[in-house]
């Protein structure tokens, strides 16, 4: 086959790989269900068996998402020069870039762990750190799944308040973090990841070259991140499903004036998506916990989970992670008390 024919066939070579990836992602849960519950005959009601299922299922899911997202982001990013990407987000006046990044986070509803590859791509493309952090906050916290479930469980008012508060928090926290000049606490390799470059002839890379660039990105980034990812999911598996309701009611009940603080502290070690934590939120609300306290707990779980911080440690230094957690947690606490005041 000639080189020209290979280049013409390049787009079609993506289809089998994309189909295999989609089938693996769709069949991930049925595979582990069949292996553990029916093949090995483990009891899904036993805590350690459920934790094992959680670890295996989520590790496979997040690794598949990581590979797919890194490849797709890298392929798209190969069409953007540093200047073009900066013009899209970084070239806006202060605050506008944060708002655009937060809005982009809403329409790219990744979980906290799978948002990290997009974060790496933004920083490597020269987008300001504060703008990128607005995306990182908004993407797992405010998405259509959370909003639809909140609407179905608690009505439009709660869903609208959550969306408004989440976007405001993402914009404000990203803006503040950007003003603090924390770029020195990003790991140096992030800034060294190459973007699509032009040939000496003046033409851009063709699709075959872009596909090679994207594949190399997958090898580089996944190779650096996967140990932290597996460690984070293992921690999540240990605490998965272990939220003692009686303890929660004692420390975060309506009689405690520091209930919102307690709820945020309880939420940080957990690992779950908004869809995963909302059933617990509904159960605790039925037992009398205030809505603002519970939504603060939910925000902490999806935006500040300890497993996410372990994964972010590969790209951010501890000083930046500490400042990030402090700023976002303070905002979540404020949102919780505001919700309690507005919703009664």
Task: With cut-offs at 50, 70 and 90, classify the pLDDT of residue 12.
Answer: low
Determine the straight-line distance between the first and last CA of the chain, rounded to whole angstroms. Answer: 71
Average pLDDT, the chain: 77
- SS3 label, residue 186: strand
Q: Indicate if the pLDDT at residue 9 is higher than 60.
A: no
The residue-averaged pLDDT of 95-122 equals: 70
| Residue linked to tokens 């799944």 | 145
Between 225-229, 246-250, 259-263, the lowest mean confidence (pLDDT) is in: 246-250
For 188, the token pair is: 């140096």
d(CA 218, CA 241): 32
Contact 150, 282 (CB under 8 A): no
Q: Which of 65-69, 188-192, 246-250 has the lowest mean pLDDT?
A: 246-250
The vertex-115 CA angle with 110 and 117, nearest 5°, equals 135
Give tens-digit pLDDT for 15-54.
Answer: 888 889 889 989 999 999 999 999 999 988 888 888 888 8
- How is residue 24 written in tokens? 């693996």
CB atoms closer than 10 angstroms to residue 174 = 31
Q: Give residue 275's pLDDT.
A: 63
What does the block give as tokens for 57? 């299922």
Could you give the CA distance from residue 262 to residue 203 in angstroms, rounded to a whole number? 57
Q: How far is residue 241's CA from residue 304's CA, in Å, rounded to a whole number? A: 18
pLDDT at residue 265 tops 60 = yes
239 pLDDT band, cuts 50/70/90, is low
d(CA 282, CA 313): 32
pLDDT higher for 141 or 241? 141
Percent of the chain past pLDDT 90, that is, above it, reads: 15
Tokens of 89: 């987000």
The per-residue pLDDT for 314 is 77
- pLDDT class of 255 with cuts at 50, 70, 90: confident
pLDDT band at 197 (very low <50, low <70, confident <90, very high): very low
**Token representation of residue 222:** 């996944």
Q: Are 204 and 231 within 8 A, CB to CB?
A: no
* Contact of 148 with 109, CB cutoff 8 Å: no
pTM for this prediction: 0.64
What pLDDT, on the 0 to 100 scale, is given for residue 240?
58
pLDDT in tens, 64-98: 877 887 787 677 767 655 445 555 665 566 678 88
Contact of 321 with 309, CB cutoff 8 Å:
yes
User: Average pLDDT for residues 146-154, to the nearest whole number?
Assistant: 78
pLDDT of residue 84: 57
Both tokens assigned to 258:
């520091």
Higher confidence at residue 224 or residue 285? 285
Between 36 and 271, residue with greater pLDDT? 36
CA distance 127 to 119: 10
- pLDDT surpasses 90 at 102: no
Q: How far is CA 193 from the centre of its chain?
A: 21
Bin 92: left if φ > 0, else alpha if -120 < ψ < 50, else beta.
beta
- pLDDT of the residue at 257: 83
Tens digits of residue pLDDT in 308-331: 787 788 788 999 999 999 999 999
Q: What is the structure's pLDDT at 40?
A: 92
How many C-beta neighbours within 10 Å does residue 311 have? 27
């Amino acid at each position: 086959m000639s080189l020209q024919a290979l280049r013409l066939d390049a787009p079609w070579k993506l289809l089998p790989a994309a189909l295999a990836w989609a089938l693996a992602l769709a069949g991930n849960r049925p595979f582990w269900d069949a292996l553990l519950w029916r093949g090995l005959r483990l009891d899904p009601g036993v805590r350690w068996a459920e934790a094992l299922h959680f670890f295996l299922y989520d590790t496979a899911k997040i690794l598949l998402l990581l590979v797919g997202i890194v490849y797709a982001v890298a392929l798209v990013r190969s069409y953007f020069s540093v200047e073009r990407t900066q013009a899209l987000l970084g070239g806006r006046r202060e605050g506008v870039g944060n708002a655009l990044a937060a809005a982009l986070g809403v329409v790219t509803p990744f979980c906290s762990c799978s948002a990290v590859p997009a974060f790496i791509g933004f920083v490597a493309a020269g987008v300001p750190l504060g703008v990128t952090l607005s995306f990182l906050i908004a993407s797992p916290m405010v998405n259509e799944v959370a909003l639809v479930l909140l609407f179905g469980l608690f009505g439009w008012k709660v869903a609208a308040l959550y969306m408004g508060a989440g976007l405001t928090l993402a914009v404000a926290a990203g803006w503040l973090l950007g003003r603090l000049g924390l770029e020195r606490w990003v790991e140096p390799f992030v800034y060294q990841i190459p973007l699509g470059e032009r040939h000496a002839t003046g033409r851009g890379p063709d699709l075959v070259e872009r596909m090679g660039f994207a594949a190399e990105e997958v090898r580089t980034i996944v190779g650096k991140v996967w140990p932290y990812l597996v460690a984070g999911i293992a921690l999540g598996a240990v605490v998965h499903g272990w939220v003692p309701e009686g303890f929660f009611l004692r420390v975060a009940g309506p009689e405690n004036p520091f209930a919102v603080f307690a709820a945020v502290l309880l939420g940080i070690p957990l690992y779950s998506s908004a869809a995963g934590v909302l059933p617990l939120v509904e159960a605790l609300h039925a037992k009398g916990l205030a809505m603002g306290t519970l939504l603060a707990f939910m925000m902490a779980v999806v935006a500040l989970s300890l497993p996410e911080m372990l994964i972010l440690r590969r790209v951010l230094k501890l000083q930046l992670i500490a400042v990030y957690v402090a700023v976002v947690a303070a905002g979540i606490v404020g949102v919780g008390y505001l919700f309690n005041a507005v919703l009664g």
